[in-house]
Amino acid sequence: MAGLTTEMLDNFKATLRGPMLQAGDDGYDTARSIWNAMIDRRPKLIVRAAGVADVMASVNFARQHELLLAVRGGGHNIAGNAVCDGGLMLDLSLMKSVQIAPTSRRAYVEAGATLRDFDHEAQAFGLATPLGINSTTGVAGLPLGGGFGWLSRLYGLSVDNLVAAEIVTADGHLVRVDADAHPDLFWAIRGGGGNFGVVTMFEFALHPVGPQVLAGLIVFPHAQAQQVLTQYHAFVQRMPDRLNVWAVLRQAPPLPFLPSEVHGQNVVVLALCYPGDVDEGMRLIAPLRGFGQPLGEHVGPMPYSAWQQAFDPLLTPGTRNYWKSHNFTALNADAIATVVRYAGELPSPQCEIFLGLIGGQASRPAPDATAYPNRDTLYAMNVHARWDAPAEDAKCIAWSREFLSAAAPYASGSVYVNFLTQDEGDRIAAAYGPNYQRLVQVKNQYDPDNLFRQNQNIKPDFNLIFEARP
């Protein structure tokens, strides 16, 4: 960066509609702060893009001056790929437009929008698409990595509902991609992460959902975890796609429907969502209460947008986070015993293990239909270590890594790429399995110099690039 003169920076800034920030500028420290407080990096430049022209200018500037380029959407990525040291951070969080076409059931979403932004607009028309479960999460990272949530069993993954996108590629050009235009690039961005360019707009298919859904929590004591999870897994095998139930093992938050003496105790929580007839849903979930002796429950009709925000208080920014993850196609007794054991040894009150249930419609496309390949995944398990003080880093990280190792014999071998931390580059090929080599080929075509590398990086194959050149 020694070659960046004041004149160069001034000329670049003059091309932008959004602000450009450097260390010492008002707003610099706020802009470089992201959800995971373990990430503390200092970019040389931060561009808060106001539109596509700013994105194109930033990509060109980074390429021309060989700057490391980081791209921020919602800033929730656990690995902290939204921010870099010494390079150019392209912040898309000002680009938050969400436009809904209710007749055609399409949503046009800019890359800085959050799930709350999306739900606010789509639910005005009783529409939704499968995204995540935390309303402060950015929309963009979900289809780029796969994307699953409460609606995925019924309507598929986020990647299955992405029908088109607009993307600024490494040469600084904006292209529209869909099944007919740049089909290889469209295939690659549906799960291949930010390896191929900066997506500025996503076009999603929408489905009738809400505004009311049946949702809520049933809470059991940790002492009953083995029997609850055993019966839960059996129940999952026969339940309809419209119903989704996740299992979460953690300490009980101070929820008003739980007795005060339960607060802070280790518990098993069944979190459910049924976007259909409430009476039918109540009949379907009745067996869940018989898995043990519940400590309490809060289940009933509520706005879908409210359910999407229900876990926000447990995932606020400013806390230290470290994840480890496995995919599972089934849960045998030993797998369940391992989950129960480590959930009984939580190193901080905010740590948890969750089993995100997928299956259903998300399992039906072929593994090569999109870059996301893991269609046999029934549970995406995330070991979520979360704590406040740096002094707790070692014990929380060690707990996560030990659990990862202990659970590995029962897992499928694949992993959800959005759950990978910055120290897991060796698992990227496992995240993509049989699709990895095709992703390398698309990388060779659209980003042969690996400008977009501040991510779970799919590296170009320089030998193939050399052979392809005349």
- Burial of residue 280 (number of CB atoms within 10 Å: 0-12, 13-18, 19+): middle
How many whole angstroms separate alpha carbon 272 and alpha carbon 357?
A: 10
pLDDT tens digits for range 352-411? 999 999 999 999 999 999 999 999 999 999 999 999 999 999 999 999 999 999 999 999
pLDDT tens digits for range 119-144? 999 999 999 999 999 999 999 999 99
> Which two three-digit tokens encode residue 118?
């999306």
Supply the mean pLDDT for the chain.
96
With 90 as the cut, is the pLDDT of residue 1 above it? no
Q: Say whether 382 sits in a helix, a strand or coil.
A: strand
Establish if 441 belongs to a structural domain.
Answer: no
Establish if 463 belongs to a structural domain.
Answer: no
244 with 375, same domain: the answer is yes
Which domain CATH number covers 20? 3.30.43.10
Q: How many domains does the chain have?
A: 2
Establish if 128 belongs to a structural domain.
Answer: no
Q: Say whether 334 sits in a helix, a strand or coil.
A: helix
CA 172-51-88 angle, to 5 degrees, is: 60
Establish if 174 belongs to a structural domain.
Answer: no
Overall average pLDDT of the 27-34 stretch? 97
Overall average pLDDT of the 90-106 stretch? 98
Going along 86-151, which residue ranges are E strands? 88-91, 98-101, 106-110, 127-128
Which domain CATH number covers 224? 3.40.462.20
pLDDT of residue 74: 94
Establish if 249 belongs to a structural domain.
Answer: yes
Establish if 172 belongs to a structural domain.
Answer: no
Establish if 171 belongs to a structural domain.
Answer: no
pLDDT of residue 34: 97
Give the confidence band of 470 by pLDDT, cuts at 50, 70, 90: very low
85 with 219, same domain: the answer is no
pLDDT tens digits for range 247-283? 999 999 999 999 999 999 999 999 999 999 999 999 9
In angstroms, what CA-CA distances link 460 with 172, 173, 442? 19, 20, 9
pLDDT of residue 3: 84
Q: Which of 91, 121, 154 is the last residue of a domain?
A: 91
Residue of 113, 151, 156, 106 whose CA lies nearest to 133:
151
68 with 217, same domain: the answer is no
Residue of 30, 355, 81, 326 whose CA lies nearest to 195:
81
Q: Which of 66, 91, 116 is the last residue of a domain?
A: 91
Residue of 124, 141, 125 whose CA lies nearest to 36:
141
- Answering whether pTM is above 0.75, one says yes
Backbone angles phi and psi of 327, in degrees to 5:
-95, 145
81 with 216, same domain: the answer is no
409 with 277, same domain: the answer is yes
Host H or E run for residue 62 = helix 52-64
266 with 402, same domain: the answer is yes
What's the domain range around 71?
A: 6-91
Q: Say whether 394 sits in a helix, a strand or coil.
A: helix
Sheet with 198-205: list strands edge to edge. Answer: 98-101, 106-110, 198-205, 162-168, 174-177
Establish if 20 belongs to a structural domain.
Answer: yes
Residue of 277, 262, 270 whose CA lies nearest to 299:
270
Mean pLDDT lowest among 214-218, 314-318, 396-400: 314-318
Residue 188 in contact with residue 439, Cβ under 8 Å? yes
- Burial of residue 88 (number of CB atoms within 10 Å: 0-12, 13-18, 19+): buried
Q: Which of 386, 401, 424 is the last residue of a domain?
A: 424
Residue 193 in contact with residue 436, Cβ under 8 Å? no
With 80 as the cut, is the pLDDT of residue 245 above it? yes
Q: Say whether 247 sits in a helix, a strand or coil.
A: strand
Strand partners, 272: 216, 245
Which long-range contacts does 330-333 make (Cβ < 8 Å, 24+ apart)? 330/233, 330/378, 331/229, 331/233, 331/355, 331/379, 331/410, 332/410, 333/230
